[in-house]
């Protein structure tokens, strides 16, 4: 998934790159050491964690706050979730960069800014119930789970459903349920949802998702054709009526059908 290039942020990106270059080198050393099991619970591990926290803080500052997102609960969640644990090892050094990263099976973990924007737009609050379609790496689900205590997420690719479930368990996210299915039909057993986040581009908004949206609930979904520019749409259900608003052009991986 890609956000369209915006030249306004090139300077901030350059600053970010410069400031974090040294940390990326250090991180790579950490990754190298951990691959060969040289790092365990000793001091180098603490150094790695400090490097990662610094990368996350800079990611939030230069990629997210700089683009106008101020919602504290969203920023705190992105500062907390260890994004590098959600990408394949060979891409760990790119985890905090300002772009999507491959996660295998032709899929990508979304750019940090897009995760922040989608999370901000649905305005998830503690105690609310969230559904995500397109678990992928599990990162977006973890971000939602930092804000509320019940998150449901559906992934159509069996291997990704399994690996994201493992990652989320390893990181101690007990409040996320992962299901391997076609998310088109939502998750009736746990409906209605206060928030629905769809992270694959659909040609139309799946009617079951609209049905499963709670009164007063919000859904964010990229709508448009696969491999083309799509519209990120914010859908709200008020007094049983649906209101939709187009937010920005985006490029997401396609919403697949038929599990």
Which residues here bind ligand SAH, judged by CB under 6 A? Answer: 103, 107-110, 133-134, 136-137, 139-140, 154-157, 160, 182-184, 199-200, 253, 255-257
User: Taking the alpha carbons of 29, 33, 35, 39 in that order, is the dihedral positive or negative?
Assistant: negative
| Closest CB to ligand SAH among residues 39, 103 | 103
| Closest CB to ligand SAH among residues 134, 217 | 134
137 given a catalytic annotation? no
Residue showing tokens 């007990």: 174
Residues 55, 79: contact at Cβ < 8 Å? Answer: no
Which tokens is 213 given? Answer: 């949206």
Cα distance between residue 26 and residue 251, in whole Å: 32
Cα distance between residue 49 and residue 164, in whole Å: 21
| Closest CB to ligand SAH among residues 108, 230 | 108
Cα distance between residue 206 and residue 242, in whole Å: 13
Minimum distance, C-beta of residue 111 to ligand SAH, in the bound complex (Å): 10
Which tokens is 59 given? Answer: 């990611």
Minimum distance, C-beta of residue 56 to ligand SAH, in the bound complex (Å): 15
Q: Which of 110, 137, 163, 164 is catalytic?
A: 110
Minimum distance, C-beta of residue 27 to ligand SAH, in the bound complex (Å): 20
Looking at the annotation, which residues are catalytic? 110
């Amino acid at each position: 998934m890609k956000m369209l290039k915006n030249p306004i942020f090139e300077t901030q990106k350059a600053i970010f790159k410069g400031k974090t270059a040294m940390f990326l080198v250090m991180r790579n050393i950490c990754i190298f050491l951990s691959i060969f099991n040289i790092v365990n619970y000793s001091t180098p591990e603490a150094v790695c964690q400090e490097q990662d926290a610094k990368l996350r803080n800079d990611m939030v500052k230069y990629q997210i706050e700089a683009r106008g997102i101020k919602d504290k609960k969203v920023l705190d969640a992105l500062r907390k979730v260890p994004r590098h644990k959600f990408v394949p090892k060979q891409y760990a050094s790119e985890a905090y960069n300002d772009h999507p990263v491959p996660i295998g099976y032709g899929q990508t973990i979304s750019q940090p800014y897009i995760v922040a924007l989608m999370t901000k737009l649905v305005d998830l609050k503690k105690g609310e119930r969230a559904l995500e379609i397109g678990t992928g790496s599990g990162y977006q689900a973890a971000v939602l789970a930092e804000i509320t205590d019940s998150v449901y997420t559906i992934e159509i690719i069996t291997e990704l459903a399994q690996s994201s479930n493992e990652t989320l368990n390893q990181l101690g996210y007990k409040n996320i349920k992962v299901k391997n299915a076609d998310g088109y039909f939502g998750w009736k057993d746990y409906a209605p949802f206060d928030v629905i986040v769809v992270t694959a581009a659909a040609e139309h908004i799946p009617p079951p998702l609209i049905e499963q949206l709670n009164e007063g609930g919000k859904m964010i979904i990229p709508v448009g054709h696969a491999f083309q520019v799509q519209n990120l749409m914010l859908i709200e259900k008020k007094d049983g009526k649906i209101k939709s608003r187009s937010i920005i052009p985006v490029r997401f991986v396609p919403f697949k059908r038929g599990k």
